[in-house]
A and B are shown apart, each in its own frame.
Chain A
Amino acid sequence: MNGVGALRVIVGAELRAMRNRLLKGNRTRLVALVIVLLLAIPFLGGGTFTVGATAGHFLPFSVDPLLSAAFTGLSLLMLLIGFPTVIASLFVGRDLLQLVVAPVRTRDIFVARLVTAMSANILISGVLLAAVLGLGAGAGAPLIYFPVALLLIAVQVLVVTSLQAILMTVIVRWVPARLARDVAAAVAGLTGAALYLTWNLSLRQTFRRTARPDVSGLTSLVQRIDWLPTTWPGHALTAIASGSVAVALVWVLATVLLAAILVAMAELLYERTLLVGLGVFGDAPAIWRRRSTPRPSPQPSPQPSPLRGEGNPYFAIARKDWLGFRRDVRRLTRLLPALLLPVGYAAALSQPARSLSGFWSNAALITFLSMFMASALSLPSIPSERRGFQLLRMAPLSMWLLLRAKVFIAFPVVVATMLVFSVAVAVISKSGVAQLVELVVLGLWLAAGFVSISVSGGAIDPRFDATDDRRSVGLVGSLAAIGGSLGFAVLSLGALALFVFGGQAASGAGNLGPIPSTPAVGFAMIFGGVVVLAFCASLVGALLWIANSRLRSFEASIAST
């Protein structure tokens, strides 16, 4: 097969597979995807364009540092977040084996897979494209600026993807490709969580009255990293915007030349990597290998068990999950971003400039964090059984016991984290003991509710065939978990408000505006709180009941995963 023919066949097959995944898969999922895209493009793209245009218009002398920083930031983001996709496309997957044994040149395999490897980076670069185009429009750049911007972003995607491929050809010599992909996914997850945290905290700062746009820090930072090739496209576009065609041409050529060198290098190294069998044959299951316990004789004498009595399926399931978390890199990676947020928030809020004021801010933060943690830990807990779920179904145990065991394994983790966090924020915000106790009780209640709701969501619509936990819960299950958690959160906070203000009213010390602070009103509010709590409990109970029914009637075959 000649080069172009092979390339067409491989890319064509990839495109057909993508089309089939979209069109022959779940229709509801497709509709949801279209709706999300229709909303995201105008809001996210339009918003970013507007921010860029505003900056270009009001900060004309800062166009170069802004563009250089944008390209550098994008490159870093692609490097961290797009890495798992690059590894998956170029180094992991049984379909690669088929390509390697077929009479196809390695160069064609590389080019074809590079196209799919770039997909995540292209998506990320969409945000930058809107910002860069907006910046050009705001700064009144000539028309040529816009196609060149598009070209340079595409080249930058190619540069970063090639760099990732080069890095991976080195890494794969020591680390199995699948393990590297899982670690890269963990890094990407942590990056996402860190970005969210930074954005959230900077938003707080932005809304302060004293906040003013200041790009001096950015300018000095860009001056320090000016030598980086990631700033070259920014310099090229700045030169175009200011009408310096010759300077622009030099930067564009330098960028394209760098891309060409990196692509050639990546192709060469990739070819060598495939030739020695790494990346294709060198993969390993996504589990930490455990050293075999050396045994002195083939017939070891039985170890006396420290436990006595009848075996307990409840603890057996919990223990199995615990061992799975310790040994499965992918499951571990799911936990890391969930843990980063409470730690990050606690660290950030400990700074006086960012500290929270007031009990309700603390309560809201604890609600959000426990919801996030419970979802990250518990939502995939039943689908992550994969084929092992059949083992549980064949055992003489009820699905209700399975649900309880899954709640049991996640609940202490969420509670422990929330307790530590509650104490930390109470100390930082100088809350009294009474408020600390209220926060702790709230944390316990929320953890129990959110964990139960998330476990139920996973059980309502499990995808036992999914190899990745992030895709192991269907749309219905995800919506049930999100909707249930939000409802539970709002109602729980409402009940807490009724208890707190009702208590104040009952003691005659409340300040409830037009509502009189009398014992009768106070007790009525407390009673209302109890009713709301009962409603919360029945919401959780209903979801668990649906989950139990769904698991009992589960029939779909579970493929070998």
Chain B
Amino acid sequence: MSPSPSTTAAAVEARQLVKRYGALAAVDGVSFQAMRGEVFGFLGANGAGKTTTLRMLCGLLRPTSGTALIDGIDIQAQPLAAKARLGYLDEEPFVHPHLTGREFLDFVADLYRMPRGAQREERMSRLLNLFDLAKKDGDLIGSYSHGMRQKIGLASLLIREPSVLLLDEPTNGLDPRSARLVKDLLEELAARGTTVLLSTHILEVAQALCRRVAIIDRGRIVAIGSMDELRVQAGSEGANLEDLFLKLTAGPESREMIERLLDAGS
């Protein structure tokens, strides 16, 4: 991991985001900034509030309080302007099963008012080739495997070159070759100035890609910063991201629980 940027402008900013469902606070005062051209990791256990936070950032959920800014634009106040800069990939991509891969890309391009013509067609073909979907681009998405849906979902983001990408488990269901492709692609996009906010369970991916990470636990950010900063916060010198994650989210207890369970069974 490289050190934190100091002076770059924030492309994604969460300011005291809160989302309540009745008495339950799914997200409770989350604040962070992802800088332009940065791959920012967003880590947390199941149900910690990662997806809720991402959905508030991309405008699918209205925060109970707080502000979500994309390139400095409040997504609740100016949704159309903010959404035009943004690409969001859900862990189950939103795709239309009755369209073919190529038709789906065309549909998304139209939704974002991309100019029609040879350039757009060429870009679609390149993306389909990149994700190894060219041979299946005439098949309905309904017949695609989970990994292929994930890939067509990613392609539908890249077709329009958004300046900010919010990705929820983008390597979920991908084969090793495709997962590697996605990692390389994200690095390249970040190098070209795209901001990537990456939510993942795969800590190796986060460690390899992310300049900084935020760890969320029970709706609150428990740690944020580069690997070195996290080690300082956790007081664990030399620890890897997995150890830090488990320590910061009170994970090691699970080992005891497993032992107890197995002992009870024997």
- Quick one: which of B80, B115, B135 contacts A298, CB cutoff 8 A? B135
* B134 contacts A300, C-beta separation under 8 Å: yes
The answer to whether A210 has its CB under 8 Å from any CB of chain B is no
* Shortest distance from the beta carbon of A141 to any chain B beta carbon, whole Å: 55
Name the distance in Å between A3's Cβ and chain B's nearest Cβ. Answer: 30
- B residues 85-112 in Cβ contact with A at 8 Å: 86, 88, 90, 92, 94-100, 103, 106-112
Q: Is B238 close to A, CB under 8 A?
A: no
Q: Mark A295-319, 1 if CB is under 8 A from B, else 0.
A: 1001111111101111111011101
Given A287-B140, A307-B116, A388:B134 Cβ within 8 A = no
B34 at interface (Cβ–Cβ under 8 A)? Answer: no
Q: Residue of B at shortest CB range from A288?
A: B140
Contact B61 A302 (CB under 8 A): no
B92's partner among A389, A398, A560 (CB-CB below 8 A) is: A560
Instruction: Say yes or no for A397: interface residue by CB 8 A criterion.
Output: yes
A393 within 8 Å of B (CB atoms): yes
B126-152 residues with Cβ-Cβ distance < 8 A to A are 129, 134-140, 142-143
Task: Kindly identify which residue among B61, B94, B125 contacts A300, using a CB–CB cutoff of 8 Å.
Answer: B125
Tell me, yes or no, whether A387 is within 8 Å of chain B by CB: yes
User: B118 near A304 (CB under 8 angstroms)?
Assistant: yes
Among A305, A323, A395, which residue has its beta carbon within 8 angstroms of that of B103?
A: A323
A316 and B110 contacting across the interface, CB-CB below 8 Å:
yes
Complex contact A285–B97 (CB within 8 A): yes
Chain A residues, Cβ within 8 Å of B117:
304-305, 307-308
The answer, yes or no, to whether A391 is at the interface (CB within 8 Å) is yes
> Is A391 a contact of B111 with CB atoms below 8 Å?
yes
Q: A302-B124, A305-B120, A327-B98 are in contact. Are A396 and B83 (CB under 8 A)?
A: yes
* Docked pose: A434 CA to B193 CA in angstroms: 67
Shortest B160–chain A CB gap in Å is 10
In the assembled complex, B84 has its CB within 8 A of some CB on chain A: yes
- A430 at interface, CB cutoff 8 A: no
Q: CB within 8 Å of B: which of A290-345? A: 290-293, 295, 298-305, 307-313, 315-317, 319-320, 323-324, 327-328
> Closest CB of chain B to A557's CB: distance in Å?
8
Asked whether B59 is an interface residue with its Cβ less than 8 Å from the other chain, the reply is: yes
Report whether B90 and A311 are in contact in the complex, using a CB–CB cutoff of 8 Å. Answer: no
Q: Of B61, B107, B115, which one neighbours A316 at CB under 8 angstroms?
A: B107
Q: Are B116 and A310 in contact (CB under 8 A)?
A: yes
Contacts of B113 in A (CB 8 A): 310-313, 396
Distance in angstroms between the alpha carbons of A300 and B134 in the assembled complex: 8
- What distance in Å separates the Cβ of B58 from its nearest Cβ neighbour in chain A? 6
Given contacts A295-B135, A298-B134, A307-B116, contact A397 B80 (CB under 8 A): yes
Is B81 close to A, CB under 8 A?
yes
Q: Which one, A301, A311, A323, A397, contacts B116 given CB within 8 A?
A: A311
- Find chain B residues with CB under 8 A from A555 CB: 60-62
Do the beta carbons of A311 and B114 come within 8 Å of each other?
yes
Number of chain A interface residues as a range: 35 or more
Closest to A297 in B: B134
Q: Which residue of A lies closest to B102 (CB)?
A: A293
Q: Give the contacting residue for B115; candidates A293, A301, A309, A327; CB below 8 A.
A: A309
Contact residues in A for B253 (Cβ distance below 8 Å): none
Nearest Cβ in chain A — how far from B227, in angstroms?
32
CB distance from B47 to the nearest CB of A (A): 13
Q: In the complex, A298 Cα to B116 Cα: how many Å?
A: 23
With contacts A292-B138, A293-B138, A320-B107 taken as known, whether A387 is within 8 angstroms of B94 at the C-beta atoms is yes
Q: Is the CB of A393 within 8 A of B96?
A: no
**If A298-B129, A305-B116, A311-B114 touch, does A292 touch B107 (CB 8 Å cutoff)?**
no
Flag whether B121 is at the interface (Cβ < 8 A).
Answer: yes
Could you tell me if B112 and A390 are in contact, using CB atoms closer than 8 angstroms? no
User: CB of B259 within 8 A of chain A?
Assistant: no
User: Are B83 and A311 within 8 A (Cβ)?
Assistant: no
Could you tell me if B140 and A290 are in contact, using CB atoms closer than 8 angstroms? yes
Pick the contact of B122 from A295, A302, A395 — CB < 8 Å?
A: A302
Q: Say whether A398 contacts B135, CB under 8 Å.
A: no
* Chain B: minimal CB distance from A94 (Å): 15
Judge whether B100 and A290 touch: CB under 8 Å: yes
Whole-angstrom distance between the alpha carbons of A291 and B122 in the complex?
A: 22
Q: Are A323 and B80 in contact (CB under 8 A)?
A: no
* A292-B136 in contact (CB<8A): yes
Chain B positions within 8 Å of A388 at CB level: 94-96
B110 and A312 contact, CB distance less than 8 A: yes
Decide if A313 touches B140 in the complex (CB within 8 Å).
no
* A residues 134-189 touching B (CB-CB < 8 Å): none
Q: How many angstroms from the CA of A553 to the CA of B95 in the assembled complex?
A: 22
The reply to whether B94 and A391 contact each other, CB–CB distance below 8 Å, is: yes
Chain A residues, Cβ within 8 Å of B134: 295, 298-300
Chain A residues within 8 Å of B96, by CB: 320, 324, 388, 391
> Is A394 interfacial (CB-CB < 8 Å)?
yes
Say whether A387 contacts B62, CB under 8 Å: no
Cα A397 to Cα B117 in complex, Å, equals 22
Residues of B within 8 A of A312 (CB): 110, 113
Q: Is the CB of A299 within 8 A of B129?
A: yes
Contact of A392 with B by CB under 8 A: yes
Bound Cα distance A389, B83 (Å): 15
Q: How far is the CA of A35 from the CA of B241 in the complex (A)?
A: 59
**Nearest B residue to A300 by beta-carbon distance?**
B125
Chain B residues within an 8 Å CB radius of A24: none
CB-CB under 8 A from B107, the residues of chain A are: 316, 319-320
Closest beta carbon of chain A to B97's beta carbon, Å: 6
Say yes or no: A285 contacts B135, CB within 8 Å.
no
CB-CB under 8 A from A292, the residues of chain B are: 135-136, 138-139
Is A394 a contact of B86 with CB atoms below 8 Å?
Answer: yes
Pair B138/A291 contact, Cβ less than 8 Å:
yes
**In the assembled complex, A208 has its CB within 8 A of some CB on chain B:** no
**With A298-B129, A305-B117, A328-B98 as given contacts, are A285 and B142 in contact (CB-CB < 8 Å)?**
yes
Interface residue A27 (Cβ < 8 Å from any Cβ of B): no
Q: Is A289 located at the chain interface by the 8 A CB criterion?
A: yes
**Which A residues are CB-close (under 8 A) to B59?**
393-394
Instruction: Report yes or no: B112 in contact with A311, Cβ–Cβ below 8 A.
Output: yes
In the assembly, what is the distance between CA of A395 and CA of B98, in Å? 19
B110 to chain A, nearest CB (A): 3
Cα of A178 to Cα of B106 in the assembled complex, Å:
29
Partner of A311, one of B97, B103, B109: B109
Question: Which of chain B's residues have a CB closer than 8 A to the CB of A299?
Answer: 125, 129, 134
Chain A residues 522-561 with CB under 8 Å of chain B are: 553, 555, 560
Complex alpha-carbon distance, A290 and B100, angstroms: 9
Q: Contact check, A310 vs B115: say whether CB atoms are below 8 A apart.
A: yes
Q: Which residue of B lies closest to A291 (CB)?
A: B138
Cβ–Cβ < 8 Å partners of A287 in chain B = 97-98, 140, 142-143
Q: In whole Å, how far is B66's beta carbon from the nearest beta carbon of chain A?
A: 15
Chain B interface (Cβ within 8 Å of chain A)? 58-62, 79-81, 83-84, 86, 88, 90, 92, 94-100, 103, 106-118, 120-122, 124-125, 129, 134-140, 142-143
24 interchain pairs, CB-CB under 8 A:
A287-B98, A287-B142, A293-B137, A298-B135, A299-B125, A299-B129, A302-B125, A305-B116, A308-B117, A310-B113, A311-B113, A313-B111, A316-B106, A319-B107, A320-B99, A327-B140, A388-B94, A388-B96, A391-B96, A392-B111, A394-B58, A394-B60, A395-B108, A553-B62
| A-B contacts besides A319-B107, A390-B90, 5 pairs, CB < 8 Å | A310-B115, A313-B113, A320-B103, A395-B83, A396-B84
Question: Considering the complex of A and B, which 5 residue pairs feature the smallest CB-CB distances, nearest first?
Answer: A316-B110, A311-B110, A293-B138, A302-B121, A302-B122
